[in-house]
Amino acid sequence: MFDMDGKVALVTGASGGIGWATAEAFAASGAKVVVAARREDQLASLKQNIEAQSGKASYVVADVSIPADVERMVAHAVETFGALDYAVNNAALEGQLTPITQLTEREWDRVLDINLKGVFLCLKYEACAMLAGRRGGAIVNVGSVNSFLGVAGFAPYVASKHALIGLTTCASAELAPQDIRVNLICPGFIDTPMHRRGRQLFGDALYDGLLSQRVHARRAGRPDEIARSILFLCSQEATYITGSTLLADGGFTLTA
């Protein structure tokens, strides 16, 4: 796929979906991979899968909303494999379907702490490690088509994903002069556990209608398709791409 031999990658939210596929893609391209999430059983399975394909992997159980966890996670990557070259900040949760008039501060904080504060903390400690390593790097934050579109009942999720555009461009402005590129990828309807929960919540008719009428590709995407786009943004093929937002949504946003 890409030549990443000798590189070290860190992927958060790696217990399933896009994070899992991205970790496997990094390993298949020759990178050593550290995977992080809150579910140790899934991380252990992912590590085993990567090693079964002759890849190198390690895992860290971490909650990205907790500064000490994030600092420990990044330190583990450097201590285990000697450096940090790539980071994918994918950990997120969608929250509960709740009208703004009934939304509690606790629920707002729960979603923003993971989806926005968590990305900030990851960026902070990842950038520090890359700067200390003096070999540059690439960071990809994972947004959503909801970085551009609103969905009734999901204000915290949508607000957090909108905010990633600004956070990504600020991080790029600061870090690109020091050879650390920061970009944002915004997936659409991807066949992940999160989107399956959405299908259950809204019903097959709505989901299938959106796929057939508003997604140019007329289908949901696969996690591995997003993973390949993420690896491209990290690779030597994308050395002049920074501060950018890549839509990977099968054309959905163009017709919304």
CA atoms 43, 36, 245, 65: torsion sign: positive
Separation CA 230–CA 21 (nearest Å): 10
Alpha helices in 94-239 (DSSP H): 105-112, 118-133, 155-175, 193-202, 204-213, 223-234
CA distances from 161 to 19, 92, 154, 244, 245 (A): 17, 10, 11, 15, 12
Cβ atoms of 224 and 25 closer than 8 Å: yes
| Tokens read off for 197 | 């929960």
- Match 């009934």 to its residue by tokens: 102
Residue 252 identity (one-letter amino acid): F
Given 86, 157, 207, 240, the catalytic residue: 157
- Match 């050593």 to its residue by tokens: 32
Separation CA 13–CA 219 (nearest Å): 24
Question: Is 86 an active-site residue?
Answer: no
| Tokens read off for 54 | 């002759």
Please list the active-site residues: 157
